[in-house]
Amino acid sequence: MSKGVCIAVIACQLCFVVLSGLAMLVYPGGAEAFPNADGYLFSYNYFSDLGLPTTAAGFDNPIAPGLFAISLVAMAASMLTFYSSMLAGGCKSISVWGCVGAGLVSALGVIAVGFTPYTIYFDAHYWAVAAWLSGIFLATLCFTLVYRAHIRQLPILWGLMIMLLVLAYVAVTFYPVGWLPTQRLQKVLVYSIVIWFIAASLWRYRRIHGNVID
């Protein structure tokens, strides 16, 4: 991974954080559990609520959807840059190709989430979420296999945690538990993924820069 690629991956992830944060600030209000709430409730609104043209409270939401969609395009660009850079190395094993393929599916799912508000395109939106989750799970699994010799390194351990979080999020979605709102777990998952891409990019760059063969 070159320095430019590393910077691009990190910059796009930070762009997602900033733009989605701005979308939360301008979100007029309304959540599934609290329809009449003012503003964005971090623990009770989904990320996808930001993309709704009309909120659960019935407010027009003219600005947040655009910011949300752009933020997800930035995240997808980061993912595509990160995974495609793995093909630049000498190793093109099945695990590497699996990582790239699953990463592509996940990135396309991320983009689709931003352009399919679930109140209008319910089925398409949830297929997009499924593509994002299944893709990131498989891509992280393949990444772990590629770097299995470094299983004790933080980026690999963090990746294993993300896989567990994906499984937990799916489980809580279908079998809700009162003490852990799905929306809160979603935030933990998404920001854990952001941190992983940043950490893994720096880790790969330092390995290559230090002349360590992957």
Which tokens hold the place of 57?
Answer: 């409270």
8 touches 14 (CB < 8 A): no
Q: What is the pLDDT of residue 143?
A: 92
Q: What is the pLDDT of residue 213?
A: 44
Strand pairing partners for 39?
A: 29
Q: What is the pLDDT of residue 90?
A: 61
Q: What is the pLDDT of residue 89?
A: 65
- Helix, coil or strand: residue 76: helix
Q: What is the DSSP letter of 122?
A: H
Task: Please compute Rg for the chain using Cα positions.
Answer: 18
Which tokens hold the place of 65?
Answer: 């959807």
- Summarised one tens digit per residue, pLDDT across range 53-92 is 999 888 999 999 999 999 999 999 999 999 998 887 666 7
Residue 66: CB partners within 8 Å, gap ≥ 6?
none
Q: What is the pLDDT of residue 41?
A: 93
Which tokens hold the place of 150?
Answer: 């470094």
The segments of the chain whose pLDDT lies below 50 read: 211-214
160 touches 192 (CB < 8 A): no
88 touches 1 (CB < 8 A): yes
Q: What is the pLDDT of residue 210?
A: 63
Q: What is the pLDDT of residue 209?
A: 64
50 touches 24 (CB < 8 A): yes
Q: Where are the domains of the chain?
A: 3-19+62-209
Torsion, Cα 98 75 201 192, to 10 degrees, reads: -90
Neighbour-count burial of 199, counting CB atoms closer than 10 A to its CB (0-12 exposed, 13-18 middle, 19+ buried) = middle
- Helix, coil or strand: residue 62: coil
